[in-house]
Structure 1
Amino acid sequence: MDSILYATADNPVPENHFAGFLEGRGGVKLRYAVFRSQEREAKGTVVLLQGRSECIEKYFETINDLTARGLWVATFDWRGQAGSGRLIPGNRAGHVTRFAEYEADLSLFLEKIVLPDARLPFYIVAHSTGALVALSMAPELENRIERMALIAPFIALAGQSMSQRQIAVIARLASLTGLGKRTFRKGDPSLEFAQNVVTSDARRFARNAAIYAEHPELAISWPTARWLDEALKTMRRVTHQDHLTRIRIPTLLLCPTADPLVPRKAVGDLARIFRAARLIEIDGARHELLQEADRYRAQALAAIEAFIPGSDAEETSLGA
């Protein structure tokens, strides 16, 4: 077993990698790993950004897919989750003080690990919350990142008992009254396939559940009120036309049409006012596209492969 990364029976650690810990803002420990391609000449490096509550191990299959295509993969666990340092000692809730801390950690990761140790050019492939962070930082990433593929970007919230506006008001009030570290739900999210809403693939769901069952220290629970407050404020900012106009990085938006967490309409509306983006919908897929059944996941990977590294003709069509 790798001393930093964890293998399970059907999820071995990809070979040819190095891993370690990086000190993020405020001294928070960030776990990272860089996976090299076996190809003699690398096509570049994908900076793979996870969603909330995920871990590096959950992406081993995708990492193997990308390195087989001649790309290196550099990734890390967000602060407060997986193998990185927790922000509320002894509490499993998913928490962050400011979303800007995620951005600072990504910037540090690019500066300290990716730029000196990985292969140019650099691309971002980001899922859900990772895509929200990438969108937020994108105006400042133009000189470092060639292209971005954003999967089910967490730009709006659906599938809840309250409206997004109601959740935003309650989360803001909780944060302002000293209750920001509280969660709206009790217990831990279910690890039963029948209750899950993020993938229709039982095998990949079981594989991922086994990671957390064997290594419970990687798991976190529901998001805190402060986390929701920060996420919702960031959503409002990144979906504003003024922000999107400042993004010049060619961007692929991958939208699973059966996503119960991020409304399809919200992603479509974003694509219409986001000049640097093109939208591809994966019909029938749920939120976690890279953990979905082959018929959906293969479409997502094909779209990413066609977009990264891309071509001059594609850049012209995107208006880059």
Structure 2
Amino acid sequence: MRPLVETAANPIPAGTRVEALDLGKGKVLRYAITPASSHPLHGTIIILHGRNECIEKYFETITDLASRGFAVATFDWRGQGASSRYLRNAAKGFVKRFDDYAGDFELLFKSVILPDCRGPYYVLAHSAGALAALVAAPAFANRIRRMVLIAPLLDINSSRARKLTARVIANTLRSTGLGGTYMLGGPHVLRPFAANEVTSDASRYDRNCGVLESAPELAIGGPTASWIVAAAKAIKRVTRPDYVDTIRIPTLIVAAGADTVVSTPAIERFAVQMRNTTLLTIDGARHEILQEKDLYREQFFAAFDAFIPGTGGDDGSVLAEAGEDSEPALDVSA
């Protein structure tokens, strides 16, 4: 199992342990558990990463959450980070279906988090990880108290014609046995800060690049046709009105006002459908809000602290009252 990668700019959070969860057939998930660093204890936050992310990218956020009295559990999704890869070319991002992600999350929850981590349990998920959280949500109704979804992948930020073309090509490739073909991009390349779309914070971007310079095997390239098809099917499923009605976990959705990766309008339309959801749009923020400038991260954590019980010095009712059994409060920003 690949140990955690530490750099001068990205220290491992205090007390973190990293281990492997056996998935069978020689495959494993790399996971990490970090204890709370302050009292009183408020439970456990489970972080679900986006596509092509790894545990190391969340060290700063894990430290922030631990200082709030939470233990933090997180893991590398199958097919990325230091978890097992599923194609001969390990650099390709691949999954057959998002139910595989949801199944891995449920296995980790039952095998590791329930016995080893203090409840109550909360989910903090980003982008494709937020989509996986929505796939898993009906099965977790009585186990996860609240979810915070950051820039969930509910549609990509592109023209209708380009999206339709991509879906047709991806389905064709997958149906002809070429699901492992790159659809967007190719092998992973570290781009200069000026060419990135995900954050306006140069120091955090350089910090994350430094991790991948030290351990390039943690990165994957562009999504494959199979991954695109799996994501499209998951999006279609979780946005159906009958499916939305099965999501009972109170949820805070945080959208990035300057997101060029996923569609913020699609996120807003989805939030309107949900009974137990509050939507916060952070104006000016790019896709990776937790990797953004302090100005945007502080707005996120103000909403987080108001929504998650205990962190704001109350029972978390400030945003929860707006989100539970009511219409979402749209476009809340500083």
The TM-score bracket by the shorter chain reads: over 0.9
1:142 is matched with which residue? 141
The one-letter code sitting in structure 2 at the alignment partner of 1:200 is: S
Q: Aligned equivalents of 1:189 and 1:162: distance in 2? A: 27
1:53 is matched with which residue? 52
Give, in angstroms, the shift of residue 248 of structure 1.
0.9
Give, in angstroms, the shift of residue 228 of structure 1.
0.5
Q: Aligned equivalents of 2:51 and 2:13: distance in 1? A: 22
Deviation per CA, 1:130-162, whole angstroms, max 9, x where unpaired?
100001111111111000000000110124795
Q: Note the aligned Cα RMSD (angstroms).
A: 1.8
2:202 is matched with which residue? 202
1:214 is matched with which residue? 214
Unaligned runs of 5+ in 1: none
Give, in angstroms, the shift of residue 89 of structure 1.
2.5
TM-score calculated relative to the size of structure 1: 0.95
Give, in angstroms, the shift of residue 259 of structure 1.
0.3
Structure 2 CA distance for partners of 1:313 and 1:159, relative to 1, 3 Å: closer
More deviation in 202-211 or 86-95? 86-95
1:246 is matched with which residue? 246
More deviation in 32-41 or 106-115? 32-41
Give, in angstroms, the shift of residue 12 of structure 1.
0.6
Unaligned runs of 5+ in 2: 310-314, 326-334
Q: Aligned equivalents of 1:14 and 1:194: distance in 2? A: 29
Structure 2 CA distance for partners of 1:136 and 1:118, relative to 1, 3 Å: same
Deviation per CA, 1:74-121, whole angstroms, max 9, x where unpaired?
000000111101111233010112221111100011001110001110
Q: How does 1:37-116 map to 2 (within 5 A)?
A: 37-116=36-115
Q: Aligned equivalents of 1:105 and 1:219: distance in 2? A: 20
Deviation per CA, 1:146-180, whole angstroms, max 9, x where unpaired?
00000000110124795222211211111101110
1:268 is matched with which residue? 268
Give, in angstroms, the shift of residue 196 of structure 1.
0.3
2:330 is matched with which residue? none
Q: Is the 8 A contact 1:189 1:222 kept in 2?
A: no
Q: Aligned equivalents of 2:67 and 2:221: distance in 1? A: 33
Q: Aligned equivalents of 1:36 and 1:133: distance in 2? A: 25
Q: Is the 8 A contact 2:307 2:320 kept in 1?
A: no
The percentage of aligned residue pairs carrying the same residue is 44
Structure 2 CA distance for partners of 1:312 and 1:200, relative to 1, 3 Å: closer
Q: Aligned equivalents of 2:125 and 2:152: distance in 1? A: 8
Q: Aligned equivalents of 2:263 and 2:322: distance in 1? A: 27
Q: Is the 8 A contact 1:124 1:149 kept in 2?
A: yes
Q: Is the 8 A contact 2:37 2:68 kept in 1?
A: no
Aligned residues: 319
Give, in angstroms, the shift of residue 314 of structure 1.
5.3
